[in-house]
Amino acid sequence: MSPALSSSSKTEPAYQVLSFQPHQDAEARRYIKRKSHPKSRGGCVGCKLSRVKCDEGKPSCARCLRCNAECQYMSLDQRKPARKSASLKWAQEKDAAVFSPCAPPFAFAQPSAVTLANTCLQSRSPARGVSRVSLLHHISQNFNAAHSLDTVCAQLPFVVSLGMSRPYLLDVTLAVAACHLRHMYQTSTAASDTISACRESSDSVLVSAMMFNLLSFTLDDNDDPARSWVFNQVPNRLAWFSMSMGLAPLLINTKQFHERSRLRHIFDASDDEERTYHGDDPKPLSKVSPHWLRLCGLDYASDDPEHVFYEPVRVLAELLTTPVNNQSFFLYMAFFGKVGAEFRSLLEHDSEPAMWILGYWLGLLCRFDHIWWLSARARRDYRAICIWLDKRKVRRRPGAEGLMWRRLLVDLEGATQQPLEAAISSLHKPDPFELLD
């Protein structure tokens, strides 16, 4: 800047600002002094870190409300005296914000398009199918008008922003976008290439669900049976169970894509050649022990697969002698495809038959002690259910009920044992008199 002579004012010279542009002459414009304004001494942490003026609104300032961020103010004893230098004051405020227990407000601001694109491009898009950038564009352009996604769309900037530091969340969000894209074009004959790409994206939806199921099993790693969901009444104590149940509808709705799926080996390993586990035809209860049937209110003449215990107890009887290996693991997990909302409701209301059935299945899963994400929860909850049944003194009940429970608990305590070849020959359909003892 250079001072220019002014006839109107000799004490306050008028300054000019020179602007230089490539291949152009320098341009001069009058320098306008910025108006003074009172400084914000009591602004929130987010505004101070961004070095913008805070309106000091309580409980949240206007900027934090606009950015959907948590607004936090420092207490009076945390504020520094005004006589300190601006650089020292800003550094101290920054340190205070770093060690603040709340999350930085600016972390939840809406990210720019360039930042989102760079994030998606950091990992390669699939060789076939819709690219990650295209799916992100589909989210920004279509989700606001998507039916029944209003609640999610209201927080979409927050979800995508959070996904910047948590890739699994971003991947699942993109998988949802691919699923919605398939829904939009599944009846269109003019977009066959898009339909094909969307069909291939069903694998990403299924893998994401499987990964979340894995997380739901392994996040609660406390091995104390007393800390199990069995002994508390927290409303969401069976959230892990509900999440695992959610995989079955996804498998049903993507069944048309399984033939060309890269997960074909998993689908093939989930049933045997006789389609014992997932066949469409009703299967008899011939392998189920009589005291199991009595517990469930069934008998060998029952032919209603819609009964809440029919399919679960039938599958458990099949798993009793199923060998333990990497291929048979998916047969054991078929149990989750046989339980539904009614079974979960019975667990919530402490149904003894439902607890025994789930406990027996968890005991069977204990056979896979080499699977790190599965064995800890299976052992803990299995032991918790055994303790829970003992506390209810089911063994001491009189008459036929007590005899039934004594046999059931012997079976439950032996569920963790590896299956023996001799057990196959011992399974038979009992005579009618055996049902009465």
Tens of pLDDT along the chain (437 residues) come to 444 444 444 455 566 666 666 556 667 777 777 666 666 678 888 888 777 888 888 878 888 888 777 788 877 655 555 454 555 555 555 444 433 333 333 333 444 444 544 554 454 445 456 677 777 777 766 665 444 454 444 456 666 677 766 777 777 777 777 777 766 655 444 445 544 555 556 777 788 888 888 888 887 778 899 999 999 888 889 988 988 888 888 888 888 878 878 888 888 888 888 888 887 788 899 999 999 999 999 999 998 999 999 999 999 999 998 999 888 999 999 898 899 899 999 999 999 999 999 999 999 999 998 888 888 899 999 999 999 999 999 999 999 999 999 999 999 999 999 876 434 433 444 444 343 34
Whether residue 276 is found in the same domain as residue 373: yes
Peptide bond into 126 cis (omega under 30): no
Coil vs helix vs strand at 2: strand
Residue 208 lies in a domain: yes
Whether residue 219 is found in the same domain as residue 233: no
Judge contact between 60 and 48, C-beta under 8 A.
no
Whether residue 205 is found in the same domain as residue 234: no
Gyration radius from the chain CA atoms: 32
Residue 153 lies in a domain: yes
Residue 74 lies in a domain: no
- Of 178, 196, 223, the last residue of a domain is 223
The rounded distance, in Å, linking the Cα atoms of 212 and 382 is: 22
- Of 173, 189, 223, the last residue of a domain is 223
DSSP H helical segments within 186-328, as ranges? 192-200, 202-218, 239-245, 247-253, 264-269, 290-296, 310-319
DSSP H helical segments within 2-155, as ranges? 45-50, 62-66, 86-98, 113-121, 132-142, 150-154
Judge contact between 316 and 335, C-beta under 8 A.
yes
Domain count, the chain: 2
Whether residue 274 is found in the same domain as residue 219: no
Q: The tokens 């542009």 sit on which residue? A: 21
What was the pLDDT predicted at 361?
Answer: 96
Residue 41 lies in a domain: no
Whether residue 295 is found in the same domain as residue 397: yes
Coil vs helix vs strand at 39: coil
Whether residue 275 is found in the same domain as residue 166: no
Q: What is the DSSP letter of 416?
A: T
Which one-letter amino acid corresponds to residue 432?
P
Judge contact between 404 and 291, C-beta under 8 A.
yes
- Of 223, 244, 271, the last residue of a domain is 223
Assessment of whether the complete model's pTM goes beyond 0.85: no
Whether residue 304 is found in the same domain as residue 351: yes
Domain that holds residue 403: 229-415
The rounded distance, in Å, linking the Cα atoms of 253 and 202 is: 10
Residue 292 lies in a domain: yes
Whether residue 180 is found in the same domain as residue 280: no
Ramachandran class of 350: left when φ > 0, alpha when ψ lies in -120 to 50, beta otherwise: left
Element (H, E) at 4: strand 2-4
Whether residue 186 is found in the same domain as residue 251: no
Element (H, E) at 419: none
Coil vs helix vs strand at 306: coil
Q: State the angle between helix axes of 202-218 and 372-391 in degrees (0 to 180), rounded to the nearest 10.
A: 50
Residue 46 lies in a domain: no
Whether residue 321 is found in the same domain as residue 217: no
What was the pLDDT predicted at 300?
Answer: 94
Residue 332 lies in a domain: yes
Give the rounded distance of the alpha carbon of 307 from its chain centre: 30
Q: At 332, list the tokens.
A: 């054991």
The rounded distance, in Å, linking the Cα atoms of 383 and 378 is: 8
Residue 265 lies in a domain: yes
Whether residue 254 is found in the same domain as residue 371: yes
3-state helix, strand, coil in the chain (%, to 5): 55, 5, 40
Whether residue 174 is found in the same domain as residue 286: no
Q: What is the DSSP letter of 417?
A: S
Judge contact between 80 and 62, C-beta under 8 A.
no
